[in-house]
Amino acid sequence: MFSIQEELERLSQKYRFFASKEAFKQSLKFQLQEKFRVEENKRFHDYLIDLWVEEPESGRQYAICLMNKLARVTIKQNGQTIELKHHGAQDQGRYDFLAQVEKLERITMGRRNVYGIVVLLTNDHLYWTEPMRPNTVDCEFRIHENRIITGELKWQERASAGTKENRDAPIFIKGRYQLKWHHYSTINQDKHGEFRYVAVHVGDVYS
């Protein structure tokens, strides 16, 4: 049976990090093809899905959306020095992650054997750490450890136009999801040397 946690554990043994979302997607795709039918960049009811995975035996289908958000870190590997760039804009990253959850709820609702999974892989601890200040402009979009996401989520009124650009619409989450972060890899002992991921499973409550 398909398990995103098992697949990511396997993947971490081969690839400790990815410099881009595309590299993450391609590596996971090639691994999944060993056991499942996989379609990349599938269009489903006007929505773009990174990886569409089907279990041949059960017929279950999984719409998988991936994110790879980076914090700056220097990696020594095989005699080479690799610099991972800093993405920043964690508030927008959180919004985008939850927008993927909303999208997959729309796709899976009322459809049997169709499930959704959103995965965010990052070495930026600001995603999984609970903030010190509770009243940030993106407080409703926080995705730290044990956070429960449900209902209408929106920016605080003082959020700037630049922050909300192309992201101004509220997000509506019909389900209820408690977020759990998992260790992916440790590349060094620097501040941003650990990668973790969070995966939200969508669709079971609607099947």
* pLDDT tens, residue by residue, 79-129: 788 889 888 889 999 999 999 999 999 999 888 889 999 999 999 999 999
Residues 203/108, Cβ–Cβ less than 8 Å: yes
Whole-number average pLDDT of the chain: 92
| 185-203 mean pLDDT | 93
Q: Position of tokens 């946690």?
A: 5
pLDDT at position 29: 98
- Chain-centre distance for alpha carbon 193: 19
The pLDDT of residue 131 is above 90: no
Structure tokens at 15: 């690839």
Q: Which long-range contacts (CB under 8 A, 24 or more apart) does 99-103 make?
A: 99/167, 99/171, 100/65, 100/67, 101/149, 101/171, 101/173, 101/177, 101/200, 101/202, 102/171, 102/172, 102/173, 103/47, 103/65
pTM of the model: 0.93
